[in-house]
């Protein structure tokens, strides 16, 4: 799941109060947001929970943004149900706030849509996106996030051309927002490349996956799973192209990340192990490949998601 960033109060307070300094509850949320953006998530969460406790029962802008910030912290930790719970609370509060809260409401709905997409609850995500279309988009960043979410739904519903168009729109909006080389654009780069891989458009997929892997590899904000996932996807592509040494090197580096991390999900590990096992078999290392395949099978059932590359296709189903 994407980390969309802490929703600082200035998102809509600046429109209400101009250059006036924030005070009271909004100032407290600003401080908590700053701590979260700096990676001090425990401190930020403690401050936000205190703000929520003191403001419970209210219907104001501050409470809604505090709930949204809590959703972002849960998103950063990969706790999808926590994102959904706090985003729903934020939406419920901000919906009562009128036009002055529309920008903050849009950000909370974006969080909710991404939670539903992470759970593959596409119908629910589609409902949320329909609500977003009736709200003002504050920036290219907001438009990028919405286009990326819409593309995932289009891809799930089999509308490849629409998905491609939406992914391209999202990438362009990230670039207009000045985030074309940031971690923000990586989901759209990766998802568009995976769409091309399923269509066997390997040449089109290559620059997208190489760009995504470069960004994730150099970003200080990237998690171990983000680095591992982008490198594994690129390894799949290189294997499909018959670039076996390049694939093996990428996957070897991915294994080093996996072995040194405690935060990589079982699904990401399984995809890595299966892909690397295929490459090892291709290079004649059958014993090592068999051991990795056993590790993969012990984790999860096979991933049948339409947006996951079938690694058995990487060598034309060669075993």
Nearest alpha-carbon partner for 69 in 142, 113, 8, 15: 8
pLDDT given for residue 301 in this prediction: 61
Helix, strand or coil for residue 128?
Answer: helix
Length of the chain equals 319
CA distance 36 to 70: 10
pLDDT given for residue 132 in this prediction: 87
CA distance 51 to 44: 11
Distances (CA, A) of 248 to 15, 73, 158, 261, 317: 52, 35, 32, 20, 18
Helix, strand or coil for residue 302?
Answer: coil
Q: What CATH code would you report for 139-216?
A: 1.25.40
Helical axes 186-198 vs 224-240, angle rounded to 10°: 30
8 Å CB contact between 315 and 238: no
Question: 183: Cβ–Cβ under 8 A, 6 or more apart, which residues?
Answer: 3, 215, 216, 219, 221, 222, 226
Q: State phi, psi for 306 to the nearest 5 degrees.
A: -70, -15
14 class by beta-carbon count within 10 Å (0-12 exposed, 13-18 middle, 19+ buried) = middle
Hey, what are 12's tokens? Answer: 């809509």
CA distance 235 to 246: 7
CA distance 29 to 49: 10
CATH 1.25.40.10 fits 1-137, yes or no: yes
pLDDT given for residue 73 in this prediction: 87
CA distance 145 to 151: 10
CATH 1.25.40.10 residue ranges of the chain are 1-137
Distances (CA, A) of 314 to 173, 214, 298: 32, 22, 22
User: Could you report the average pLDDT of every consecutive run of 10 residues in the chain (319 residues)?
Assistant: 45 45 73 79 88 73 88 84 94 84 86 91 93 80 90 93 96 94 94 95 97 94 90 95 94 94 88 94 93 89 45 33
Nearest alpha-carbon partner for 221 in 33, 82, 7, 38: 38
Helix and strand element counts for the chain (H, E): 15, 0
Helix, strand or coil for residue 267?
Answer: helix
């Amino acid at each position: 799941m994407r980390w969309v960033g802490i929703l600082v109060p200035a998102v809509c307070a600046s429109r209400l109060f101009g250059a006036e300094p924030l005070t009271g509850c909004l100032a407290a949320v600003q401080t908590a947001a700053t701590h979260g953006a700096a990676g001090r998530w425990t401190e930020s969460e403690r401050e936000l929970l205190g703000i929520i406790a003191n403001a419970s029962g209210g219907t104001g802008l501050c409470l809604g943004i505090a709930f949204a910030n809590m959703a972002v912290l849960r998103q950063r930790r990969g706790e999808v149900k926590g994102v959904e719970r706090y985003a729903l609370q934020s939406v419920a509060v901000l919906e009562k706030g009128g036009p002055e809260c529309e920008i903050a409401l849009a950000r909370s709905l974006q969080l909710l849509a991404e939670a539903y997409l992470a759970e593959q609850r596409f119908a629910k995500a589609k409902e949320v996106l329909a609500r977003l279309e009736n709200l003002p988009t504050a920036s290219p960043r907001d438009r990028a996030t919405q286009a990326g979410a819409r593309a995932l739904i289009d891809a799930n519903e089999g509308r490849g051309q629409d998905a491609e168009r939406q992914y391209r729109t999202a990438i362009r909006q990230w670039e207009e927002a000045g985030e074309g080389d940031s971690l923000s654009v990586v989901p759209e780069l990766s998802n568009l490349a995976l769409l091309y891989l399923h269509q066997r458009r390997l040449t089109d997929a290559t620059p997208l996956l190489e760009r995504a892997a470069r960004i994730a590899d150099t970003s200080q904000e990237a998690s171990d799973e983000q680095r591992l996932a982008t490198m594994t996807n690129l390894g799949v592509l290189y294997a499909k192209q018959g670039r076996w040494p390049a694939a093996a090197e990428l996957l070897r580096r991915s294994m080093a990340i996996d072995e040194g991390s405690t935060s990589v999900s079982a699904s990401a590990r399984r995809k890595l192990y299966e892909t690397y096992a295929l490459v090892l078999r291709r290079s004649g290392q059958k014993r090592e490949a068999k051991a990795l395949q056993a590790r993969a099978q012990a984790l999860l059932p096979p991933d049948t998601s339409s947006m996951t590359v079938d690694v058995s296709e990487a060598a034309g189903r060669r075993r």
